[in-house]
Amino acid sequence: MSTYLEIPIPPSSDHLWRYTPWKRVHPSAVNTIPDAQPLTISGGDLFKAVITDSDEIARSFIHSIAQCQELVLADEDLVIDVKSSGHVAAGELKIVAKGHNTLVINLMGEASWAGLRIVGEVLPASSLSIALINELSSESRLLRVEDWVVGKDASLEFSTLSAGGSYCKTDIRVNLTAKGSECRGSVAIHGTGKRHDDHHFEISHAAGYTTSGLVMHAACDDKSRSIGTGLLKIETNCDGSNAGQIFRNLLLSEKSRAESIPELEVLSDDVKAAHGAASAPVSAEQLHYLMSRGLTKSAAEALIVEGFLMDAFKDIRNKKVVAAMRNALLLHLDCLVI
């Protein structure tokens, strides 16, 4: 396994780093390993643990500066706070889920740069609904990488509300390794100011009769930019798999930007795989409807944005996660108005 400094810097032609180059993600010079403060995690029983290094540059970088803790979930319903402070803060979290679990992570703090690497496993016949609410300071930069393995007849739901931080790169990879495993991902992004938010997803169907669905909604205002790239891969001999992916962008200002690249690689024949992407301004019809009922234009627009972002979570079955997302979104939007 490589250590960070041995891994070549990815060129901008590399799909994963095309819009968010590694040199801008790294907290300092790319050939350095800075000192980092650990992320402070509170709210659960955590143990010291070790996870292996990676050949992938972002994972290996966080591994080189962070300490790892392990969280074992067994029929739990947990909310944890992950706080960053100092100039550079980083942490690795290993999560093992057995039974039926809910985990809400509030990512907060003032660190200039925060790195979070999660390596998780949902054991056979278990479920985990994990939500991450990015409430980092508006000056923070974030690198977040996650790798999940979902076992036989197990289910993973991952939800993200991304509204904090100024320059964020997220890379989430899910491996559906056994028959009957499923994964649903829901991501809502609100871009304001000059916020840059890049999400990459890879969902690999490595066994037959596996199911995945991914929805990403990005509402971009001011000069913000959202990037959504996804790769759905159905390997050979994975008949009966069903995969879907949709990226929707709502552009709220003239200078906002959105990039969507939903990719499909299908190597089995008896499967269903589909993806879609759409980008549009706020619907004049919806605005008219709300304004004719007495709302000001800005209030009507805010309501449409709220509805659009909450719509990303409509397929999430865990009600507690949906409620947590709604509360966090309303708080975020209220704070913007204030």
Partner 1 sequence: MNDDAQDAVGDYRYGFHDPEDSTIRFDKGLTEQVVRDISELKNEPEWMTDIRVKAYRHFAERVMPDWGNCEMLNAIDFDAITYFLRSSKGTESDWDDVPEAIKNTFDRLGIPEAEQKWLGGVTAQYESEAVYHSLRDDLEQQGVLFFDMDSGLREHPEIVKKYFCSVVPYSDNKFAALNTAVWSGGSFIYVPKGVHVEMPIQAYFRINAKNMGQFERTLIIADEGSSIHYVEGCTAPTYSTESLHSAVVELIAMEGATIRYSTVQNWSVNVYNLVTKRGIAHKNSTIEWVDGNIGSKLTMKYPAVILKGEGSHAEVISVAYSGSGQHQDAGAKIHHLASNTTSRILSKSICKNGGRSSYRGLLQVSPKAQNCRSKIVCDALVLDEDSQSDTYPTMEVANSSADLEHEASVSKVSSDQLFYLMCRGHSEDEAMGLIVNGFFEPFTRELPMEYAVELNRLLQLEMEGSIG
The residue ranges that bind partner 1 (CB under 8 A) are 13, 236-237, 239, 249, 251-281
- Residue 146 Cβ vs partner 1, minimum distance, rounded to whole Å: 23
For partner 1, which is the closer residue by CB, 35 or 270? Answer: 270
Distance CA 168, CA 193 (A): 14
Closest CA to 105 of 59, 62, 159, 141: 159
30 touches 57 (CB < 8 A): no
For partner 1, which is the closer residue by CB, 179 or 320? Answer: 179
- Residue 29 Cβ vs partner 1, minimum distance, rounded to whole Å: 26
For partner 1, which is the closer residue by CB, 112 or 279? Answer: 279
For partner 1, which is the closer residue by CB, 99 or 281? Answer: 281
3-state secondary structure of 329: helix
Residue type at position 138 = S
Distance CA 257, CA 65 (A): 33
DSSP H helices, the chain, are: 22-25, 57-65, 284-291, 297-310, 319-337
For partner 1, which is the closer residue by CB, 140 or 229? Answer: 229
- Residue 321 Cβ vs partner 1, minimum distance, rounded to whole Å: 28
Measured CA to CA in angstroms, residue 286 lies from 76, 279, 294, 336 at distances of: 41, 16, 13, 22
Q: Quick one: tokens of 330?
A: 């309303």
- Residue 232 Cβ vs partner 1, minimum distance, rounded to whole Å: 9
Q: What b/e sequence results for 269-307 when a residue is b if at least 16 CB atoms lie within 10 Å of its CB, and e otherwise?
A: eebebebebebeebeeeebeebeeeeeeeeebbbebbbe
For partner 1, which is the closer residue by CB, 169 or 275? Answer: 275
For partner 1, which is the closer residue by CB, 154 or 312? Answer: 312
For partner 1, which is the closer residue by CB, 13 or 31? Answer: 13
3-state secondary structure of 297: helix
Tally of residues, the chain: 338
- Residue 235 Cβ vs partner 1, minimum distance, rounded to whole Å: 10
1 touches 52 (CB < 8 A): yes
- Residue 238 Cβ vs partner 1, minimum distance, rounded to whole Å: 9
- Residue 220 Cβ vs partner 1, minimum distance, rounded to whole Å: 8
Distance CA 262, CA 259 (A): 10
- Residue 4 Cβ vs partner 1, minimum distance, rounded to whole Å: 23
SS (H, E, C) 12-68: CCCHHHCCCCHHHHCCCCCCCCCCCEECEEECCCEEECCCCCCCCHHHHHHHHHCCE
